[in-house]
Amino acid sequence: MRMPAFTTSDPVALHAGLQPDRVACVDLASGRRWTYAALDEAIQRAVGVLETGYGIEPGQRIAALARNSADLLILQQAAMRLGAIFVPVNWRLASAEQKVILADCDPALLVHDTALETVLPKDCKAIEVGAFAKAVAARAPAPRRPLPASDAPSIILYTSGTSGRPKGVIVTERNALATAVNFGVLGRVGNASVFLCDAPMFHVIGLITNLRPPLLQGGTVLISPGFDAGATNRRLADQALGVTHYFCVPQMARMLRDHPDFAPARWASLTAIFTGGAPNPAADIKWWLAQGIRMADGFGMTEAGTVLGMPVEADRIAGKAGSAGLAAPTIGLRIVDDDGRDVAIGEPGEIWLSGPSITSGYWNRPEETEHAFTTDGWFRTGDIARQDEDGFVTLVDRRKDMFISGGENVFPVEIEMVLLDHPDIAEAAVIGVADARWGEVGRAFVVMKPGRILDQAGLASHCGARIARYKVPKEFVSADALPRTGSGKIQKHILRGWTGGGRD
């Protein structure tokens, strides 16, 4: 007997019945707020706008080129109820880059917040966010219809592009629900949780990790148009807001602590700062603990949602600082060698994943989708890690970033973490470059702290005291800034195009 497909879960509609008067969402820029009953109705009004006003049908794409707002949440949830596919596009990209993404996803509608500078695909209509919000407010709620299957594409998230041209990762509602469960368990999310979301909603952290866990539990989401160190510091200290969960990349955390308004003693309601997206040095994590703030590092992917997370107990964080934590409850995880065999405890290997949060593949990329999975269904992440005897996993590097020097495997992240422990260095990135004697050697790009001067010999000595000689970069290059994606990841494919003295 064939089992019917699972339908999509709809926590907003559920909590509109369970706790209709609880605040679900606040748009911090405009001051607008919605209870669960009001948010549920607004989403159903938006369904009417999309269906009647623009003729949107199941399977069609709705793109968004706009900064964070509650209107984007309403738009995405309305698309989900219709069976359409929401595609948030990185507004920081150049118009030519945006054009490539829009051509790939071929949307029927684009919602935007600034004047369009890119050419839209044929037959794509456009509406400004403010006009969309007014249309939603004026429209009667559409009749409810059965929800789509949970395994149908619901969102397409284009990868950050750390290695070149972005790929569209398909996210189903089953994937999103599993991530809500995974982060909810690791991050102690409950009905009283209040999330501050200022990570961009074109990224998995902003659109999925920051929104789905609290909405699943009936908590509250505070949506900011974007990260501002001063505003975020003040919001974390505002007891009227009562922020319990804040998710950011390490660069954002660094900007918070460097800002004049930094006052962690006033963050009384905060469970923890959750970090991901880039390496977080153990020294930094312990520094935050000394300020009374638990910093729980983790690891996730656009293709997999929340994968790993640290506990939120301060003593466990301190004892395992530098680790990305334990596997989330719905995640199947293996660490394997080049032949697909499980490695021994403490040995480096590639992370393979399985579970309901794992993507079904890449939009319009059947060959890359097939290559991403093993014949028995494991997703190859391309990330190298070690697992200790307690099950804690520490990321070593991306497989493609590893280089071989004199026959030895070298993982740049390990060197970068050593460099970030140097008191004069603010940022660091290491790549492998060709060398006549050793095959490849390391080249380190460093951003010095204000007033500090690069000292080649001093940095080499610092590294040599902490890592093997063959891992020490043969060259240190000073840079004003490192190229990063919108989510804070270093774009090493750009660094490879720079010469030893800067850009080509």
Q: Which whole number is the average pLDDT over 82-110?
A: 92
Q: Would residue 455 count as lying in a domain?
A: yes
What 3-state DSSP class applies to 289? helix
Q: What is the pLDDT of residues 227-244, one digit of tens each?
A: 999 999 999 999 999 999
pLDDT at 489 over 90: no
Q: Which whole number is the average pLDDT over 85-106?
A: 90
Label residue 5 by pLDDT band (50, 70, 90): low
pLDDT at 341 over 50: yes
Query: Which pair of structure tokens corresponds to residue 462?
Result: 């610092």
Q: Would residue 429 count as lying in a domain?
A: yes
Separation in Å, CA 34 to CA 38, 209, 235, 332, 438: 5, 20, 19, 37, 62
Label residue 163 by pLDDT band (50, 70, 90): very low
CA distance 446 to 467: 18
Residue 112's closest CA among 96, 100, 98?
98
Question: How would you write 488-502 as a 3-class SS string?
Answer: CCECHHHHCCEECCE
Q: Which whole number is the average pLDDT over 195-202?
A: 95
Q: Would residue 253 count as lying in a domain?
A: no
pLDDT, position 484: 83
pLDDT, position 281: 84
pLDDT at 77 over 80: yes
Q: Would residue 239 count as lying in a domain?
A: no
Q: Would residue 258 count as lying in a domain?
A: no
Q: Would residue 330 count as lying in a domain?
A: no
pLDDT at 295 over 90: yes
Q: Average model confidence (pLDDT) for the chain?
A: 92
Q: Which of 66-75, 119-128, 276-285 has the lowest mean pLDDT?
A: 276-285
Per cent of the chain over pLDDT 90 is 77
pLDDT at 2 over 70: no
pLDDT at 94 over 80: no
CATH, residue 418: 3.30.300.30
| 264: CB partners within 8 A, 6+ apart | 288, 291, 292, 293
Give me the phi and psi of 173, to 5 degrees please: -70, -30
Q: How many domains does the chain have?
A: 1
Question: How would you write 105-150 as a 3-class SS string?
Answer: HCCCEEEECCCCCCCCCCCCEEEEHHHHHHHHHHCCCCCCCCCCEC
Q: Would residue 137 count as lying in a domain?
A: no
More confident residue, 207 or 496: 207
| 468: CB partners within 8 A, 6+ apart | 408
Label residue 402 by pLDDT band (50, 70, 90): confident
CB 98, CB 126: distance < 8 Å: no
Considering the entire predicted model, what is its pTM?
0.84
Question: How would you write 154-210 as a 3-class SS string?
Answer: EEEEECCCCCCCCCEEEEEHHHHHHHHHHHHHHCCCCCCCEEEECCCCCCHHHHHHC
Q: What is the DSSP string of 5-63?
A: PPBPP-HHHHHHHH-TTSEEEEETTT--EEEHHHHHHHHHHHHHIIIIIH---TT-EEE
Q: Which domain holds residue 482?
A: 402-503
Q: Would residue 445 count as lying in a domain?
A: yes
